[in-house]
Amino acid sequence: MNRQFTPSSTLRTLPIQISDQISERIIDGSFESGERLREVELAESFGVSRATIREALRLLEQRGLVQIKPQRGAHVTQLSLKELEDLFEVRASLLSSASRLAAERIHPDNVRALNSYLARLEENTDDSARYSAISGEMVSLIAAISENEILAHYISDFAQRIGRYVRMGLQSEERRQASLRTWRRLVDFIVQGDGPNAAEEHRRLALENRDGALKALQEGQKLSSLASDEI
């Protein structure tokens, strides 16, 4: 790890800040599924104590991104077909509710913001990392527009746990183009104040991403199995 860590001056504690940084690296693949996270190396990288790293790792364990076992330390959790399906089932319900409420409560400033994000999505369909990040920002915006703080909190908390799968589901440009078409319809429904159709469209978007992630994970597991057989 060669990224420089600079603690934020906000009220968020240092372990939370570090857990967020490690979470980002898990989501973008810098830390791979099953990889061990060594306290000494992380402490040196972030310039903090091992106690701070241990607390950060415990937070990540609560989010389902890290598993800590006695005598074996902390490891990035393995990707799982069952977890993928379970997570997206919950995500689809959360996002559906957020878009329904957003459509009911939208105002002109929100319309401009949504259209701005949509334009950024269109500009980044050739970049899976950027597209995934902007898509996540749009979800956060819709959650904010919903004006339901509890729902927004759940969506934000859930985003880290499901982030690896979301990005996996958007690996191919074909998937990103299909996602963009669904996003356009979703934004149209929200702007029109059509809550029921906005809810259904965001549920469709989540399930399309689930199917893309399932396909990518199954293909990855198949390739891994073939590689093991050849050894």
Query: What domains appear along the chain, each with residue ranges and CATH number?
Result: 14-76 (1.10.10.10), 81-222 (1.20.120.530)
Nearest to 91 by CA among 135, 61, 29, 57: 135
Those residues with Cβ within 8 angstroms of residue 195's Cβ, 6 or more apart along the chain or in another chain = 99, 100, 101, 103, 104
Interval 42-63: pLDDT, tens:
999 999 999 999 999 999 999 8
Give the range among 1-5, 109-113, 158-162, 202-206 with minimum mean pLDDT. 1-5
Q: How far apart are CA 184 and CA 187, in angstroms?
A: 5
Largest Cα–Cα distance of the chain, in whole Å?
A: 60
pLDDT for 81: 93
Q: Which two tokens stand for residue 130?
A: 């950027």
* pLDDT of 160 over the 90 cut: no
Q: Which pLDDT score, from 0 to 100, does residue 224 have?
A: 58
